[in-house]
Structure 1
Amino acid sequence: MKAENFDVVVVGAGPGGYVAAIRAAQLGLRTAIVEKSELGGICLNWGCIPTKAMLRSADVLRLMRQAVQFGIKAAEPEPDLQAIVARSRKVATQLQRGVGQLMKKNGITVINGQARLAGKERLAVTSKDTETLIAAKHIVLATGARARTLPGLDANPDSVWYYREALTPPRLPKSMLVVGAGAIGIEFASFYHALGVQVHVVEMADRVLPLEDAEVSEYVGQSLRKQGMTLHLGCGITGQRKYAGGWKIKLGGPGDKELDVEVILVAAGIVGNVEGLGLEGTAVKVENSHIVTDSYGATGESGVYAIGDVAGAPWLAHKASHEAMICIEKIAGLTPEPIAANRVPACTYSHPQVAHVGLTEQQARDAGRPVRVGKFPFSANGKAIALGATDGFVKVVFDADSGELLGAHMVGDEVTEMIQGYVVATELETTEAELMQSIFPHPTQSEAMHEAVLSAYGRGLHY
């Protein structure tokens, strides 16, 4: 069988894969992309995008319930689960079609099927009963990751949900246990709680969002409890028993507990999709289900690269897309800068929202950096007061000697739209003097970013 020839073939069409294909085409490389399921990958179809559509519905519901605070008389709102899910799926479908249009616009060959390495510069793609051989000088693996499953908790629409089941629920349960208090778990907890579900969250760490700054985690935990969620921290599931109405759960840890819930929603991390890629017999190294690469995505096998979730943490769509551009530009002979891990922002779209870039205060201290810390609450911000969005704060961590911005952390309404200001500042290696000199428009919530910087140096104006 004669192989069709390409300069670059990308395996996987998620945020890393399709961006890699587009950038390769832009650089004049003959490019193909192989996808066994849906263009856009998990993020667009079953992750980032549909969850945000559903969380938006929850935000609207909360705001309508608070209408009287804004001088608006309205009937008590009720969620329509079927309509919420339908809107979420419509948003995902629209964007999936957009990815297809981008492939056509950039002259990228789209191949449907399961790909595996089949010798040097060769890929075999299986679709139904047909196998196609593809030749490429450069093969980029962008196969992503999947939810980590737990023993005895196989997915089913009735009572055990992973992300797919949670995005297409057949009904609203009365009660739910969310396993895992990372970003995904807390986002789903926020959504279902807003719709009236009694939500329990169990987490092995001693705080929710354990990767966030400790003050942010503590604030979010307090907020979730105030909203009515029950948090079980520092413990895990030691036993479960299914019965007709749901699950009886045993939790081990400080003060053993038993819970009765209708549904278990599992958000206990991810596993890289490395199976079936033909890595056996190659120099590609896999550790803890993730492919080992250098800072440009190259693996131990010449001509084979890996980017995105399959290449390890942080498991973020924007990191995958940026890795894609770096990898392709390196292949094309350009000189891209590798990703600096401390400049990758992270966002959690819970209620309240959380966003950060850089080091936490503790990480900075553990690294031996002399620090100056500034904070500013949204309760002292004019725009936030006008919006009725006074929960939360902005926190910044500076190197006390150089004025380098080491980290920025936010919690509150729409902070995920604000963090980029600090991301640009870190990329430009901006100092505290330049941030203090910058003019922030009034009235905006972003003024809290300026005030936090001023606070770190004893120059706060409004708090």
Structure 2
Amino acid sequence: MSNAYDIIVIGAGPGGYVTAIRAAQLGFKTAIVEKKHLGGICLNWGCIPTKALLRSAEVYHHMEHAKDFGLSAEKIGFDMDAVVKRSRGVSKQLATGVGFLLKKNKVDVIWGSARLTAPGKMTVTAADDAPKGALGGGDYSAKHVVVATGARPRVLPGLEPDGKQVWTYFEAMVPKELPKKLLVVGSGAIGIEFASFYRTMGAEVTVVEVLPQILPVEDAEISAHARKRLEKAGLKIHTDTKVAKLDKGKDSVTATLEFKDGKSDKITVDKVISAVGVVGNIEKLGLEDLGVKTDRGCVVTDGLGRTNVKGLYAIGDVAGPPMLAHKAEHEGVICVEGIKGLDVHPMDKLKIPGCTYCNPQIASVGLTEAKAKEAGYKVRVGRFPFIGNGKAIALGEPDGLVKTVFDDATGQLLGAHMVGAEVTELIQGFVVAMNLETTEEELIHAVFPHPTLSEMMHESVLDAYGRVIHT
């Protein structure tokens, strides 16, 4: 078999494998290089297994509150090994599915680590645990190379993970037992999801965030609502706070916290989860030798994934924020469609939704109210609380908020922000609306089914224009 291809994708995470499949669909002879996991971090150690853990926590929470629904449940408990085993099983099933999809689309999988030696040329060092008979080490070439190597946990001085007492998301996903006391450093989506999971399962959890609000990229009003709910559930949250030092004992870690007012305190926990963000995997790829432009640990690209080196592209986490699987997938598709010469639209990052799957869920798209005002818009803001929705009350989920932000001059939907039950499923309605350049008029005239949570989306729009019905 020839080692020459039209397109080679480096990295088989969500962005990489979707890119490779779409390239094959477009008629390109395609290969993908992967050193360890089909499906990448997201499928094996991120998005998917965490949702399986959070689902177990959600079911456990409902069992604990069975009486609220007129039900009874006795001797409620959990087996952490079984919870983790289910999570790993879900990941394994999907990783197997990715392999099937690549084979179905006639994408060659090259097992190993790639290093670019010249534009369109690379040397692959074979993976030690490559499947028997699989393609592996050797020299390969392609007219187009797409780098989709993803990201890894960011490491801060003094917070270096050791896999035992200081965890990254890798260790946090496969605990052998539930820690009694846990410190989570960082309150982005990863940190808050793990904090929510461990608190629901019974751990005493403290979250420390150096910025003024948790979930820093979210609308301030939504973040404040989420914080109130999380604290009501028992989370201890410190914002404007820095973890200055970790002192490890035999079976514990003592963290020194420094507050904005200059005061400090110490807390002792069993485990620490470092969730201070991620950095792109740009090392050992030969990018510097080719003169590829990078910025703050990521490859610089245009709206179609093109780098400053002809024939070389980058998509997904390695190409910069937002570092989300669905952004990577879409970015990969438009990249190869651009290579094909199709009429494609460059990536518009303002229309990429973000979701956090804690309890309560948080979801958003577009500009926050503050960012819209900073951009010079005169805004109309609509709000609708879950307590005004019949379906939310029937579900036993009366706490939450849907918020919409419109341009007062044109009626353009600038952003939508939600906190509460199932909002990660609802947000796509607003994503579609923004992509269609919908104004308030179309949204007001749309008929939403009853009884559903989605009715709150309608009511939020109505509220922005003084026409709300149910509050």
* TM-score class, shorter: over 0.9
Counterpart of 1:26? 25
Aligned counterparts of 1:79 and 1:257: Cα–Cα separation in 2:
34
CA RMSD after TM alignment: 1.2
Aligned counterparts of 2:440 and 2:127: Cα–Cα separation in 1:
59
Aligned counterparts of 1:427 and 1:358: Cα–Cα separation in 2:
11
Letter in 2 for 1:393: L
Counterpart of 1:138? 144
Counterpart of 2:339? 331
For the pair 1:169 / 2:168, whether they are aligned, the reply is no
Aligned counterparts of 1:158 and 1:27: Cα–Cα separation in 2:
46
Q: What does 1:21-170 correspond to in 2, within 5 Å?
A: 21-127=20-126, 131-170=137-176
3-state SS of 1:384 partner = helix
For the pair 1:4 / 2:12, whether they are aligned, the reply is no
Counterpart of 1:226? 232
TM-score, normalized by length of structure 1? 0.98
Aligned counterparts of 1:5 and 1:40: Cα–Cα separation in 2:
24
Unaligned 5+ segments in structure 2 are 129-135
Confirm or deny: 8 A CA contact 1:3 1:135 kept in the other structure.
no
Point out the more displaced range, 120-129 or 377-386: 120-129
Counterpart of 1:192? 198
Residue number among 323, 327, 336 corresponding to 1:315 in the alignment: 323
Confirm or deny: 8 A CA contact 2:119 2:309 kept in the other structure.
no
Aligned counterparts of 1:399 and 1:280: Cα–Cα separation in 2:
44
Letter in 2 for 1:224: L
State the Cα deviation string for residues 387-425 of structure 1 (Å, max 9, x = none): 101111100000111000000000001100000000000
Q: CA deviation at 1:157?
A: 4.0
Unaligned 5+ segments in structure 1 are none
Aligned counterparts of 2:160 and 2:439: Cα–Cα separation in 1:
50
Aligned counterparts of 2:66 and 2:378: Cα–Cα separation in 1:
46
Q: CA deviation at 1:239?
A: 1.7
The percent of aligned pairs where both chains have the same amino acid is 55
Q: CA deviation at 1:456?
A: 0.5
State the Cα deviation string for residues 206-237 of structure 1 (Å, max 9, x = none): 11101100000111111111111111110111
Letter in 2 for 1:462: H
Confirm or deny: 8 A CA contact 2:181 2:269 kept in the other structure.
yes
Letter in 2 for 1:44: L
For the pair 1:214 / 2:220, whether they are aligned, the reply is yes
3-state SS of 1:118 partner = strand
Aligned counterparts of 2:75 and 2:395: Cα–Cα separation in 1:
21
Aligned counterparts of 2:194 and 2:423: Cα–Cα separation in 1:
18
Counterpart of 2:408? 400
Aligned counterparts of 1:432 and 1:280: Cα–Cα separation in 2:
48
Counterpart of 1:445? 453
Aligned counterparts of 2:286 and 2:391: Cα–Cα separation in 1:
55
Residue number among 254, 265, 274 corresponding to 1:248 in the alignment: 254
Residue number among 391, 398, 410 corresponding to 2:399 in the alignment: 391
When the two structures are aligned, how many residues end up with a matched partner? 462
Q: CA deviation at 1:247?
A: 1.0
Q: CA deviation at 1:79?
A: 2.0
Confirm or deny: 8 A CA contact 2:195 2:207 kept in the other structure.
yes
Aligned counterparts of 1:197 and 1:396: Cα–Cα separation in 2:
35
Confirm or deny: 8 A CA contact 2:35 2:127 kept in the other structure.
no
Aligned counterparts of 2:217 and 2:161: Cα–Cα separation in 1:
27
Aligned counterparts of 1:70 and 1:439: Cα–Cα separation in 2:
30
Aligned counterparts of 1:446 and 1:346: Cα–Cα separation in 2:
18
Point out the more displaced range, 449-458 or 129-138: 129-138
Aligned counterparts of 1:180 and 1:415: Cα–Cα separation in 2:
22
For the pair 1:205 / 2:204, whether they are aligned, the reply is no
Confirm or deny: 8 A CA contact 1:138 1:304 kept in the other structure.
yes
Q: CA deviation at 1:154?
A: 3.6
Aligned counterparts of 1:187 and 1:18: Cα–Cα separation in 2:
26
Letter in 2 for 1:420: Q
For the pair 1:272 / 2:280, whether they are aligned, the reply is yes
Counterpart of 2:132? none
Aligned counterparts of 2:448 and 2:407: Cα–Cα separation in 1:
23
Counterpart of 1:352? 360
Residue number among 430, 445, 452 corresponding to 2:438 in the alignment: 430
3-state SS of 2:327 partner = helix
Letter in 1 for 2:394: A
Residue number among 403, 407, 421 corresponding to 1:413 in the alignment: 421
Point out the more displaced range, 244-253 or 83-92: 244-253
State the Cα deviation string for residues 324-374 of structure 1 (Å, max 9, x = none): 001000111112101111111000001100000100000111111011001
Aligned counterparts of 2:164 and 2:275: Cα–Cα separation in 1:
17
Residue number among 464, 467, 470 corresponding to 1:462 in the alignment: 470
Aligned counterparts of 1:44 and 1:316: Cα–Cα separation in 2:
12
Q: CA deviation at 1:312?
A: 0.1
Residue number among 182, 187, 210 corresponding to 1:181 in the alignment: 187
Confirm or deny: 8 A CA contact 2:360 2:421 kept in the other structure.
yes
Residue number among 263, 267, 278 corresponding to 1:259 in the alignment: 267
State the Cα deviation string for residues 168-210 of structure 1 (Å, max 9, x = none): 1121111010000011000000000001100000000111101
State the Cα deviation string for residues 64-112 of structure 1 (Å, max 9, x = none): 1111111101114212111110000000000000000000100000010
For the pair 1:376 / 2:384, whether they are aligned, the reply is yes
3-state SS of 2:290 partner = coil
Q: CA deviation at 1:151?
A: 2.5
Confirm or deny: 8 A CA contact 2:459 2:469 kept in the other structure.
yes
Point out the more displaced range, 116-125 or 448-457: 116-125
Confirm or deny: 8 A CA contact 2:193 2:357 kept in the other structure.
yes
Letter in 2 for 1:6: Y
Letter in 2 for 1:119: A
